[in-house]
Homo-oligomer: A and B are copies of this chain.
């Protein structure tokens, strides 16, 4: 997260937001945030959202995610909003919407769904 310049900006039960202020190192040749960086914050937001509802002493691990890249991630701020879709004993499904703020407008640029596995005895996000 530090490498990308991302930070947690909102945490509530089942809902986490991560914001990214784009740096040159994560931009691709046309000045958009690289898909890998978009996926990384979207996956992290989904994982942390799942973590907020885990019992004490349990962590989570992403087993798979799919991301649809809908528009170029260009703007002053990229925001990933992760939320839990359904929690289960072993597996939890979470989603993330990723928005780009540019010139006072917010645009949906990516949509991710992720499966998180509950890991007993290890706290935190295992990504």
User: Could you tell me which A residues sit within 8 Å of B by CB distance?
Assistant: 2-4, 25-26, 28-30, 32, 34-37, 39-41, 43-44, 61-71, 85-86, 88, 90-91, 93, 95, 108, 111, 113, 115, 117, 124-127
**Contact between chains at B127 and A108 (CB < 8 Å):** no
**Contact between chains at A85 and B67 (CB < 8 Å):** no
A70 vs B124: C-alpha distance when bound (angstroms): 19
**Contact between chains at A115 and B36 (CB < 8 Å):** no
A9 vs B63: C-alpha distance when bound (angstroms): 27
Which residue, A85, A91, A127, has most C-beta atoms of chain B within 10 A?
A: A127
Per a CB cutoff under 8 Å, which of B34, B44, B71, B115 touches A127?
Answer: B34
Among residues of B, the one whose C-beta sits closest to the C-beta of A88 is B70
**Contact between chains at B34 and A40 (CB < 8 Å):** yes
Sort A-B residue pairs by CB-CB distance and give the 8 closest, nearest first.
Answer: A36-B40, A66-B66, A35-B127, A3-B25, A64-B68, A70-B86, A68-B93, A39-B39
